[in-house]
Amino acid sequence: MNRFACKCCGVDEVKDSAKAAVLSLEKALGVELTITSAYRCPKHNKAVGGVRSSRHTVNKDAFDILWPNDESRKAFIEAAVKLGFKGIGLGKTFVHLDMRLNQTIWIYK
């Protein structure tokens, strides 16, 4: 099963550079991350309530990842920033990472 493919149609359009960054993050942390969403086709993006300009669909460089345990969250974010992830959305059970140009951090309600 392709971890980067759309959950509804199986298409994988994630940029190679973004995939490489996720793989580097896994290597830095010594774990395989659970990616709950990477590329989303427009139909799937709409079905999950994603914004029309979602980086999952348009820029193809975004990932939603289940949070690691509480003790390793700080190390996770530090490693992600070091590896070039500049979009960081913090949820209760997941973190969104993307490769936007400007550092942006937000919290999901």
Domain boundaries, given as residue ranges, for the chain: 16-107
Please check the confidence at residue 73 and state whether its pLDDT lies above 90. Answer: no
pLDDT computed for residue 39 by the predictor: 98
CATH 3.40.50.300 fits 16-107, yes or no: no
pLDDT computed for residue 49 by the predictor: 93
Helices (H), the chain: 16-29, 42-47, 73-82
- pTM for the whole structure: 0.93
List strands edge to edge, sheet with 94-98: 35-37, 62-66, 94-98, 87-90, 104-107
Residue 74 one-letter amino acid = K
User: Could you tell me the two tokens for 3?
Assistant: 């971890």
Question: Please, which residues bridge with residue 105 across strands?
Answer: 88
Q: What is the pLDDT of residues 37-66, one digit of tens each?
A: 999 999 999 999 999 999 999 999 999 999
